[in-house]
Amino acid sequence: MDKDPTNKFERIGNNIVKKMMGLKLIDKPRAERLTSRYTVAPRIYGLRKTHKNTCKLRPVVSCINSPSYKFNEDIQFTLEIEQNNRISFLDILIERREGCLITDWFIKPISSGRLLNFESNHPRAQKIGMITGLLDRMIKLSNEAHWEKNYKIISNLLLKNGYNKSFINAIVGKFRQEVSNRLNNNIRVANSFTYCRFPFIRGLSYEINRCFIGTNVRLAFYNLLKINSVYTKLKDPLKKEERSGLVYKITCECNRCYIGQTKQFLVSRVKQHVNDCKNVNAAKDNKTALASHHFDQHHNFNFENTSILDNERNWFKRNISEMFFIKVNNTVNKRTDTNNLSILYNDILKKYKSEI
């Protein structure tokens, strides 16, 4: 292949979206949602299949941020044919019996049966939530005739994942009571709390949560150590020039640096900076801090060695990240660039700066 066709496919896709909007098949907000920018070519990688003897590697094509990525959610096809009057789809099994459709909660035979382990470093409430969620899903997906059998399956699954009998019986018993109350009275108590996401650190997190007693705010904990931080990275990393949604650093000959953020490809953004530093633009009004430094101090920036400090597609988070890096580096950035960063961070950033 002589030329990377990614841009061409991006254009073709966007033209189809435009045409569909012209024909009034989709409205403007949807067309905007389907229009792609800064796309990259899909990447292939291999996933180890541990439960199969043959074909040890399943090839996976990751289409994230590829030209057709945004269409994915709109196109979904699947075809299955029933066997013995039964057909399964995801975690539901549908059975044709005497003219009626009976459903049951279904676990694939290859399921590992692994759940959040009782010994895992997670809040107790999260373990209870996991069990209740499992029970709730089972009840919603299966016909009442299957409930007893499924309660037993779930209890056995939990035993295998380190939960003790009395813990299981207490949670399952409470859940069964709630289900029968629900069936009898048809009421469900709505909870009126507002939840905020907060990292789970055993001991500390509960103490912080206690500060909110008497308010309608509660913390919802998440674990800092995620599964993908344990396994090696499977996908090839994107090349520097193919990456977008970045916080970057350009160093000056005086060793100070400029920190910026962009949603574009890095090369495009750097090109704009190079252009800003051309003499024809010296008299321009709203110059960037980088261009001002270049013209005021007669210094040159080392554009070839632009480094990436952070990758973040979310605009809000990217701005916070940029301000952090401006604070801890010796920069040429304007003072106003960090106006939106809360002073609460000052002490911790000062400490961090002294350590690097």
Residues engaged in binding Zn ion (CB under 5 A): 252, 254, 299
Minimum distance from residue 37 beta carbon to Zn ion (Å): 33
Nearer to Zn ion by C-beta: 250 or 252? 252
| 3-state SS, residue 210 | helix
Minimum distance from residue 291 beta carbon to Zn ion (Å): 12
Rounded CA-CA distance 306/303 in Å is 6
Nearer to Zn ion by C-beta: 211 or 282? 282
Nearer to Zn ion by C-beta: 134 or 326? 326
Minimum distance from residue 277 beta carbon to Zn ion (Å): 12
Minimum distance from residue 258 beta carbon to Zn ion (Å): 9
Q: How far is C-alpha 198 from the chain's CA centre? A: 16
Rounded CA-CA distance 25/332 in Å is 50
Nearer to Zn ion by C-beta: 218 or 299? 299
Minimum distance from residue 294 beta carbon to Zn ion (Å): 8
| 3-state SS, residue 87 | strand
On the 0-12 / 13-18 / 19+ scale of CB atoms within 10 A, 218 is middle
Tokens 């409205």 belong to residue: 27
Nearer to Zn ion by C-beta: 40 or 252? 252
Rounded CA-CA distance 168/93 in Å is 25
Rounded CA-CA distance 108/141 in Å is 15
Q: Show the 3-state SS of 249-307.
A: EEEECCCCEEEEEEEEEHHHHHHHHHHHCCHHHCCCCCCCHHHHHHHHHCCCECHHHCE
Residue 4's alpha-carbon distances to 8, 67, 83, 242, in angstroms, are: 8, 12, 46, 12
Minimum distance from residue 19 beta carbon to Zn ion (Å): 50
Nearer to Zn ion by C-beta: 117 or 300? 300
